[in-house]
Amino acid sequence: MWVDTLFNILTYLVALNVLISIITVFREPRDIAATWAWLLLLIFLPGVGLVLYFFFGRRLPKSRLNRMALQDLIGLEEWVDTQKELFNDDLLTSYFNGNPYQQDLATIFLNNDESILTTNNSLRLIVDGQEKFESLMKDIIAAKDHIHMLYYIFRDDELGKKIIDLLAQKASLGVEVIVLYDALGSNRTHRDAFKAIEKNGGFAKPFFGSAYSFFNFRINFRNHRKIVVIDGKIGYFGGYNIGDEYIGKGKLGYWRDTHVRLTGNAVLNLQSRFFMDWNAVAIESEQLRPSDRYFPKNNESGKTAMQIVTSGPDSEQQIKLGMKKMISTARRYIFIQTPYFIPDESMFESLQLALQSGIDVRLMIPCKPDHVLVYRATEYYAKLLEKLGARVYTYQDGFLHSKSMVVDGQMCTIGTANFDVRSFRLNFEINAFIYDHRVAREMAAHFIEDCRKCHIADAEYFNRQSKWKKFKQAFSRLFSPIL
């Protein structure tokens, strides 16, 4: 008798779990692959699946999405309108020396992301953490009017405190200092860490944080951007966050990343994006308004043409579309560096088509995980790509965190977006698309140099892996739409 009762109770619980799972997943529109992944998780891991969904699966509230979406382009509206009116085949041809693929990409970004094309930029590629932070601190010390800073991770460690102290000093001297940090990425940093800045007249706020800095229940929809703008004339963006691990003092060892120090009118694009992100979380009295001090006339004489492109859950997947377009234009080679390689079906098919067309596709990933489940899925897709003819490298000299792609030594993209679903759909990201053969060839040279510090992950490499590791890779792949 009790067995029948227990069986009935379990039957009702299973049915209830299935019903709750269906209601939970389908009450908000999402990608079909992600829908099925969540259904599998919720149905086969009752209870546990709901806990995971609470942290990873909930959509961003419409009120917050609407507030982000309402942050129209700031400071560059007239410039965008002018470029849209003036952009024609003759003008684009003069910019791109008749390269139709770059012309198409620039037009797409201008029309879809309101990303202006600037051509007077000078940039320095930075692939070492010590060099990046020495350069940044030097520019902070020299700042005259304002320092605007946005980081996904801002640690309260030795490096973080050093930068906070510098910012507080500049604020005390009347320089406007504004720091925006992601509440989840910086959840180990208490808000009190920024009090020195605030006491001296500066501002510091978390992006989409909870009332308690140590509690943040939303894993998705984080601001993964890294932006610094100094006096409207100097900009930084790329993969480095602020923390000791980014100068090689963490458990992963040396940190290989790619960052850019930028001067020229593209800095104004970074400024506009910072304004939009800050205004989305600041109260009205603290919101920024465009003026000549923030958007100064720039007489930089550089020759690099580029566009700053952003994407996130509040907008279309512009960075993904740009990368996909770049892959489709390749005629000789595609070099990709990324710590997380979890492409969706369309991106994987683009790479497959390139390989079938005889394009030299090379992928470089870390040799070790910082997120185990994500890394196993990365290995799975890297193995699939290798089977199709790509050359896969695992970086051995520490941890590879660089997010870049170079095509044919003609154009490249550098920024914060990983080659995965999370960066393409879930997080707020920023990338530069650079139309300069000098910069692209320098990026390709860095890639070739890094290859000397890699192992080749060929068929034998993957075949030697244990059955248990192969199982973990295949299992992790099932959840790739939600990783």
Q: What is the crossing angle of helices 32-44 and 2-26, to 10°?
A: 160
Q: How many CB atoms lie within 10 A of CB 433?
A: 28
Q: How many CB atoms lie within 10 A of CB 79?
A: 19
Cα 58 versus chain centre, distance: 20
DSSP strand pairing (234-238 vs 259-263): antiparallel
Q: How many CB atoms lie within 10 A of CB 246?
A: 23
Pick the catalytic residue from 401, 420, 450, 472: 401
Pick the catalytic residue from 113, 139, 156, 231: 231
Structure tokens at 352: 């497959």
Q: How many residues make up the chain in this entry?
A: 483
Beta strands, E only, 329-437: 333-337, 341-342, 360-366, 391-395, 399-400, 404-407, 411-415, 419-420, 429-435
Pick the catalytic residue from 233, 259, 324, 403: 403
Structure tokens at 6: 């227990």
**Could you tell me if 321 and 108 are in contact, meaning their C-beta atoms sit under 8 angstroms apart?**
yes
Instruction: Mark whether 157 is an active-site residue.
Output: no
Instruction: Mark whether 455 is an active-site residue.
Output: no
In the numeric block, the tokens 């299973």 are attached to 14
Q: Which spans in 388-436 are helix H?
A: 421
State the Cα–Cα distance between residues 295 and 305, nearest whole angstrom.
19
Pick the catalytic residue from 132, 146, 170, 226: 226
Instruction: Mark whether 162 is an active-site residue.
Output: no
Instruction: Mark whether 139 is an active-site residue.
Output: no
Pick the catalytic residue from 224, 259, 324, 472: 224
Q: Which has the closest alpha carbon to 258: 114, 435, 442?
A: 442
Instruction: Mark whether 165 is an active-site residue.
Output: no
Q: How many CB atoms lie within 10 A of CB 309?
A: 26
Pick the catalytic residue from 257, 408, 420, 436: 408
Structure tokens at 275: 């304004």
CB-based contacts of 16, cutoff 8 Å, min separation 6 = none
Instruction: Mark whether 408 is an active-site residue.
Output: yes
Query: Mind telling me the catalytic residues?
Result: 224, 226, 231, 401, 403, 408
